[in-house]
Structure 1
Amino acid sequence: MPAFTAPDGTELAYHLVGEGEPVLVLPGGPMRASAYLGDLGGLASRRQLVMLDLRGTGGSGIPADPATYRVDRQVADVEAFRDHLDLDRVDVLAHSAGGDLAILHAARHPRRVRTLTLITARARALGVDFTEEHRREAAALRRAEPWFEAAHDAYEAVWAGSATDADWDAIAPFFYGRWDTAAQAHAAADAEQSNYGAADVYASPDAFAPAATREAVAALDARVLVLAGELDSGPLPRVAATVAGLFPKAELAVQPGAGHFPWLDDPVRFSGTVETFLRG
């Protein structure tokens, strides 16, 4: 697979999926290999997805200094990636925890970002995050699901800080609009695709300076799409609207019936929404 060298000497791998105008894709997890994104619901039939494996995940190398897993320190990787691709300005798409990385990159390198697409993305970089109350609010929407009772009991253990590995597995249905075979397989792949040690470092408190980042993105010229899932708790649609309001050229899209991975819940709607935005 293709690769390039990060500023600190770490070899970083990426994957080319599809053809067309490139979209630089940053995965979430945090620190989950980009394979979980698949072809983003067929978006690869419209655009070439240039999908980065963050340091220590997928085909990328393990850095000599584990402190470089911190999200703000990975901004240099994203900028080196753009430079390696020889693109003056890029369309950036980020999912989940990758939203923090994309936002920090846009704040630090605003002239390099043409569009920013934030898919069910976190925005701790802007001082916005989900809470236990948000999780409970979204969970209550799923009461009619056959798996709800067992999954909610497991969620209670998570909120109480007493969760076992089995409890963490049991809450997975809350993150999908449909808990079908495809969703179950997607959830089952998480452990082998994720670097949990790196994830513990990724969002270290010192990684974020929300006031400064808000000031930077308030002047961002790039168009921004904030896409939320109707059933997702991170972020809730109304929280996603708050995030969109922090950018001068942002629009909000809420995908009906979608959870945290909206390209799985309705691939056609998802890819169409994103492509329409990218076309401008």
Structure 2
Amino acid sequence: MPFFTSYDGLRLHYDQVGDGPPLVVLPGGPGTDVRYLRDLGGLSAGRRLIRVDARAAGRSEVPADPATVSFVEQARDVEELRRHLGLETLDVLAHSAGSLTAQEYAAVHPYRVRRLVLVTPVGRAGREADPAEVAALRAARRDEPWYPQAAGADEQSPLGRARLVPFSWHRWTPERRRAEYVPGHATTLPWLRAAFYAGSATAETLPGRLGRLAAVRCPVLVMAGASDGLIGTMPARLIHQMYPDSRLEVFAESGHRPWVEQPELFRAVIEDFLGGGGVA
């Protein structure tokens, strides 16, 4: 299996799926095995997906220092991957929490990112869901049989987050759980989530962080799911407003994983964007 060695000697795993121009793929979670993304709804038919397991996740090694798992620090891993692959520039696609790493990388290495795709991103410099929007999206599902258990779940515990999964989808069935949630793909490290988000901006540092991100000049495609009861659409809208050269696509019949629920549209939008389509 292919590995590369990052700046601190840690061995990180990646694989390659499909054929065509390369597209670096960063998973969410945080801490989820990148294989949950599969071939991104068939995107591998025209792209070589370079799928990266983040440090302390999937098939990558766990660092001795948990502080290096912060999304701010993980941007350094992306640069080491670029050097390992011998690429001058990267097209980068990131999902959910991975969008924080991708945006940090683009801010630190602005001339290394050609185009950036952020799929249901959690925010700009941390988690930025609008509680009122998320509450409304969840309340709209009150007539579904799984709602009582999900509505009372504790978002801070692993079991609670598992019970919230149906809110992530436009349409939820038990069959979807069996198809999409593979045992062993989610992290079991109790400290990883907090370590990852430790890079989030505070009230004092947020203006400066947003200023750095807004200076990114590569084209940015931001994708949201209209039914995403996990984070809503507000994070994507805030990101779209921040980047001067960005395009927002809201998928009407998708939740947090639009490549599963609307794969044809998902592929078409990304191929158009990566092929040079405008962001207007």
TM-score computed with the length of structure 1 as normaliser: 0.89
State the 1:113 CA deviation: 0.5
Q: Tell me the residue number matched to 2:141.
A: 142
What residue in structure 2 maps to residue 243 of structure 1?
239
Counterpart residue number, 2:167 = 174
Instruction: Kindly indicate whether the alpha-carbon contact (under 8 Å) linking 1:18 and 1:44 is maintained by their aligned counterparts in 2.
Output: yes
| 1:226 matched residue in structure 2 | 222
AA aligned opposite 1:132: P
Aligned residue in 2 for 1:198: 192
**Counterpart in the other structure of 1:52:** 52
Q: Deviations over 1:17-60 (max 9, x none)?
A: 11100111111101111011111111111211101101111221
Cα deviation for residue 183 of structure 1 reads: 2.5
In structure 2, the residue matched to 1:40 is: 40
Matched-pair contact (CA < 8 Å) for 2:28–2:94: yes
Cα distance in 2 between the residues matched to 1:23 and 1:182: 30
Alpha-carbon contact 2:225-2:232 (below 8 Å) kept: yes
* 1:28–1:99 Cα contact (<8 Å) kept: yes
1:272 match: 268
Secondary structure in structure 2 of the residue aligned to 1:193:
coil
Moved more, 109-118 or 230-239: 230-239
* Deviation by residue 1:190-248 (Cα, 9 ceiling, x = unmatched): 65432443222100156674322322232222100010001014543344222101001
Is this contact kept in 2: 1:23–1:49, CA < 8 A? yes
Contact 2:24 2:51 in 1 (8 A): yes
Moved more, 190-199 or 115-124: 190-199
TM-score normalised per structure 2: 0.89
Deviations 1:5-25 (A, max 9, x none): 000000011010111001111
Q: Secondary structure at the match of 2:242?
A: coil
Percent identity of equivalent pairs = 37
CA contact (8 A) 1:103 1:123 kept: no
Conserved 8 A contact 1:228-1:235:
no
Mark the CA change 1:8 to 1:15 in structure 2 (over 3 Å): closer, same or farther.
same
Q: Is the contact between residue 172 and residue 187 of structure 1 (CA under 8 Å) also seen in structure 2?
A: no
What RMSD in Å do the two structures reach over aligned CA positions?
A: 2.2
Point out the more displaced range, 269-278 or 233-242. 233-242
From 172, 180, 185, the counterpart of 2:178: 185
Deviations along 1:84-122, one digit per CA (max 9) or x if unpaired, are 111111111000000110111111111100011000011
Provide closer, same or farther for how the CA distance between residues 3 and 129 of structure 1 changes in structure 2, counting only shifts above 3 A.
same
Aligned partners of 1:3 and 1:11 also within 8 Å:
yes
Q: Could you say which residue in structure 2 is the equivalent of 1:65?
A: 65
Q: 1:210: which partner in 2?
A: 206
C-alpha distance after superposition, 1:161-189 (max 9, x if no partner): 6x682x43322111112213552125542
When residues 267 and 181 of structure 1 are mapped into structure 2, their CA distance, relative to the original with a 3 A threshold, is farther
- SS of the equivalent of 1:257 reads coil
* 1:182–1:20 distance in 2 versus 1, CA, 3 Å: farther
Q: Point out the more displaced range, 132-141 or 8-17.
A: 132-141
**Could you tell me whether the CA contact under 8 Å between 2:36 and 2:181 is conserved in 1?**
no
Residues 39 and 206 (structure 1 numbering): CA distance in 2 closer, same or farther, change over 3 Å? closer
Q: Secondary structure at the match of 2:223?
A: strand
Alignment of 1:69-108 (within 5 A): 69-108=69-108
Segments of structure 1 that go 5 or more residues without pairing to the other structure are: none
* Segment of structure 1 superposing worse, 127-136 or 56-65: 127-136
